[in-house]
Amino acid sequence: MKNKPPYRVLVIDDSAFIRQFLTRIINQTQDLKVIATAADPLKAMEILKKTEVDVITLDIEMPNMDGLQFLKQLMHFRPLPVVMISSWTQEDSEMAVQALALGAVDIIAKPTLGLRIGMEKLKDEIITKIKTATQARVGRFPSSPKVASPPLSVSDNKGLKVTTDKVIAIGASTGGTVAITEICQQLRPNVPGILIIQHLPAMFTTSFAASLNNTTRIQVKEAEDGEQITSGLALVVPGDKNLTIRKSGAKYLVKLGPKLDVSIYNPSINHTLHSVAEVAGVNAMGVILTGMGNDGADGLKAMRDNGAYTIAQDEKTSVIYGMPLRAWENKGAAKQVPLPKIAEEIHHWAGI
């Protein structure tokens, strides 16, 4: 059972300006209150020993202990929702993906230039993600990546370049990177082509795709415009793009477009699912995973109406049971499935 508001926030950052800024905007927000701040993780550990906390904001680079090491210990000994707020760059974006794998609920990139003005522009995003984190279930994250099936030889392992006659579209938001990783680690290398629409900033989707590719038996990469969807291949939609599909003979090809002005979600799950519904029809499967909001619900309903098989993650295994609930309530999902069983459901539908 979740505590009632105001939700207590612990701010951990070695920058006095960031601590003061976060304290100000959080305390100005109804239902949130900064209960304490810490300049490094060791001080935060002392605070956690004597203070009840509902959610944590956490930097990466700090004295005495880095944020990832602290996050790993926190999730092992006292799991709490964590929003990472750090100065990520394209070069170190893999650390952000690692933070999500360790159990962080979400990530926010501090501006690298013009910190004061940049942080003000991020105010709404920061508050929204902290509020979402207060509703998150944490504590069921794997301590290290593992592949469920025995490894294959390298030649058999990645991307069986076979035209797929079926398409699987998987949409997720908060908590989705861990859920998608768990599913992909169980998938067989002859699975039909997959589209992954995960709400992530553009600088992180390349690293997320690389992380999946390194821990699964299928090939995973960021989608490129005009690329063919093939068996054993999962394409991650870039964070600053939107993806639709088209058919060319027996082939399914992807088309990348810019962000949508009409959608608050980018990449938009609905946008891709509506395209899959129209182009692939009965030859498609749609999956909606954990996340806040309703992105994907309408698109999944369109897929189901056009004959696709559609499922949503169940409440018990969702970090945030928002998007799956909306997909279930509007009859977009034909079935709710626990996360550990979703890969099996995909295999059964694909007949493999």
Q: Using CB atoms within 10 Å of the CB of residue 6, give its burial: 0 to 12 exposed, 13 to 18 middle, 19+ buried.
A: middle
pLDDT of residue 174: 96
Confidence of residue 266 (pLDDT cuts 50, 70, 90): confident
The CA-based angle 139-315-295, given to 5 degrees, is: 105
199 included as an active-site residue: yes
Question: Chain centroid to CA 325: how far?
Answer: 17
154-350: CATH number: 3.40.50.180
Residue ranges per structural domain of the chain: 7-133, 154-350
pLDDT of residue 150: 41
Q: Which residue out of 173, 211, 275, 318 is catalytically annotated?
A: 173
Q: Tell me whether domains 7-133 and 154-350 share a fold.
A: yes
Helix residue ranges per DSSP H, 139-254: 154-157, 176-186, 202-215
268 included as an active-site residue: no
pLDDT of residue 2: 64
Confidence of residue 113 (pLDDT cuts 50, 70, 90): confident
pLDDT of residue 4: 81
Q: Which residue out of 295, 298, 314, 318 is catalytically annotated?
A: 295
Strands 284-288 and 251-257: unpaired
Q: Which residue out of 13, 199, 271, 314 is catalytically annotated?
A: 199
Convert the pLDDT of each residue in 134-165 to its tens digit: 999 997 544 444 444 443 433 344 444 556 78
Tokens of 139: 């504590």
Of residues 49, 67, 51, the one with CA closest to residue 59: 67
User: The pTM is what?
Assistant: 0.91
Q: Which fold has domain 7-133?
A: Rossmann fold (3.40.50)
User: Up-side HSE of residue 349: CA atoms within 13 Å toward CB?
Assistant: 26
From residue 257, how far is each of 85, 237, 296, 350 by CA, in Å?
28, 10, 18, 29
173 included as an active-site residue: yes
